[in-house]
Chain A
Amino acid sequence: MKAKIIITPKKAVLDPQGKTVQNALEHMGYSGIQGVHVGKYLEIDLAPGSDREAARKALDEASHRFLSNPIIEDYRLEIVD
């Protein structure tokens, strides 16, 4: 079982990295791109036999306290087999 956590900058926060990647994509001729947001992806391996709901609860807390900064980032947590 794994946890997958995707962290992205909040919409209200300046994202110069996303903007620069967007400009580069447009420059390369990729059209129709409205916005790019560069974030982080964490993959966490869970010990065999972990309780799915307990893991979700603990990692949700960890994502809020530590893995993301709620002032500037949003996160999405997913537990997969």
Chain B
Amino acid sequence: MRFAVIQFPASNCDQDAVHALRHCFAQDADLVWHKDTDLRGADAVIVPGGFSYGDYLRCGAIARFSPVMAAVQRFAAEGGHVLGICNGFQVLCESGLLPGALIRNRSLQFRCEHIHLRTVTPNSPFTRATPAERILRIPIAHGEGCFFADEPTLARLRANNQVLWEYCDAQGRVTDDANPNGSIQNIAGICNETRNVAGLMPHPERACEAILGSDHGRSIFEGLLATLRERAVPAAPVPAAIAA
């Protein structure tokens, strides 16, 4: 599969995403510059972490208007799969591809550590390959990862099962102590209504190899890859003998 990894000025997890896709999953991964207007036939898009445009104004606010994002918007509208990680999640929220917003951490601290994630539903390309009982241990690195949405939006997210990941403790309990940034209802990641666009603050691409301290991020990419492979296989033609 071909992945487009979007590169904004001051993206800094773009190479991590490319590394994970190429070396851990043997996929094609191309960097696509923010001024490009073409995703070059990509099967999926990763909007990576970093500090696009220096996080000026608001995280993701300027990146959202870069030329490449118009192509990402079209790609998503046509059912293409898009995963936003950390700053990429912020960009997707700013662009309206995902609901809600990410604001300054409750502690005002930049948090850089491994946290635990509970997968709320297997019903998405991004969560389908994660066993229900497995608690993911994945790093975070952000100062503005506190997810916020108003009450009607939250109710809609829950009603449509769009919350994909919640911060929890090592035993899977969703507690306030396990919430690293003050996100409302411990929400760490969500998807859109059509479930082809997802975003999360933790970094699964930095957790795909045991040597990095965790390979729990793998199942997120494995699920996405399984979905992409299914989409790529055209419906088998009915043999003439049966059709007749």
Contact = CB atoms under 8 A, between A and B. Distances in A.
Contacts of B27: none
A14 B57 contact: no
B149 A16 contact: no
Contacts of A20: 108
Contacts of B182: 14, 16
A72 B103 CA distance: 8
B146 A66 contact: no
A14 B182 CA distance: 9
Q: Report, as a range, how many residues of chain B touch the other chain.
A: 10 to 19
A71 interface: yes
A14 B65 contact: no
B108 A71 contact: no
A20 B103 CA distance: 15
Interface residues of A, number: 13
A9 B104 CA distance: 11
Interface in B61-108: 61, 65, 94, 100-101, 103-108
B148 A67 contact: no
B150 interface: yes
A66 B61 contact: yes
Given A66-B61, A67-B57, A69-B58, A14 B103 contact: yes
A14 B149 contact: no
Contact of B148 (A14, A17, A40, A66): A14
Interface in A44-74: 66-67, 69, 71-72
B146 A71 contact: no
A69 B94 contact: yes
Contacts of B103: 9, 13-14, 72
A16 B94 CA distance: 21
Given A13-B148, A14-B182, A66-B61, A71 B107 contact: no
Given A13-B148, A66-B65, 17 more contacts: A9-B103, A12-B150, A13-B103, A14-B182, A16-B104, A16-B107, A16-B108, A16-B182, A20-B108, A40-B57, A66-B57, A67-B57, A69-B58, A69-B61, A71-B149, A72-B103, A72-B148
Interface of B: 57-58, 61, 65, 94, 100-101, 103-108, 146, 148-150, 182
Interface of A: 9, 12-14, 16-17, 20, 40, 66-67, 69, 71-72
Instruction: Give 6 closest A-B pairs by Cβ, nearest first.
Output: A71-B101, A72-B101, A16-B108, A16-B106, A69-B101, A13-B148
